[in-house]
Amino acid sequence: MKKYIFLSLLMALVTTFVACGSDDNDKDMTAPVISGRGLTASPINCQVYHPGDVISFRYLFEDDTELGSFNIEVHGNFDHHSHSTEADDHDHEGSECHHDDDHEAETSGTPWVFNQDYGIPAGQVSYKAAVEIPIPADVRHGDYHFMIRLTDRAGWQQLKAVAILIEGAE
């Protein structure tokens, strides 16, 4: 009789663990993806802009369950720090570009800082993001990082850092 009680309890425990484990199959455990697949991605590493230009932001966002929102941030890279998200880009590894030293000496103008959140319509697993971002006319020339943060509905995040250059008139 004790043997049957023990087996019954063991079966109940196994059933409980299997039932709890099935909940994990319903949870989103995958980060979203930022890509340029099927479109001309912009901006790309080492792209050059001028004060007063407009950056036409174009990227494809995908997730296996549901996308949430994205953020675009632009900040100066005058100290040449790196976010290193472009390891597969062998021409421009990391988020650094190498330009003439003349660009490094420029210190006039206001360093540009841009930070904006954007929503993605509910239920989307694929979204072609398109945003027009004007560059201020009085912006300081030099190296900048263009950061893309994509978050899915479950909270997983993907980051892409792109190095751009803002230089004076030619």
* Per-residue confidence in pLDDT tens, the chain, 170 aa: 555 555 555 555 555 444 454 455 578 899 999 999 999 999 999 999 999 999 999 999 999 999 999 999 999 998 777 665 554 444 444 456 765 544 444 567 899 999 999 999 999 999 999 999 999 999 999 999 999 999 999 999 999 999 999 998 65
| Residue 42: both structure tokens together | 């912009």
Buried b / exposed e over 135-150, threshold 16 CB at 10 Å, is: beeebbbbbbbbbbbb
**pTM value surpassing 0.95:** no
Q: pLDDT tens digit string along 38-78?
A: 999 999 999 999 999 999 999 999 999 999 999 999 999 98
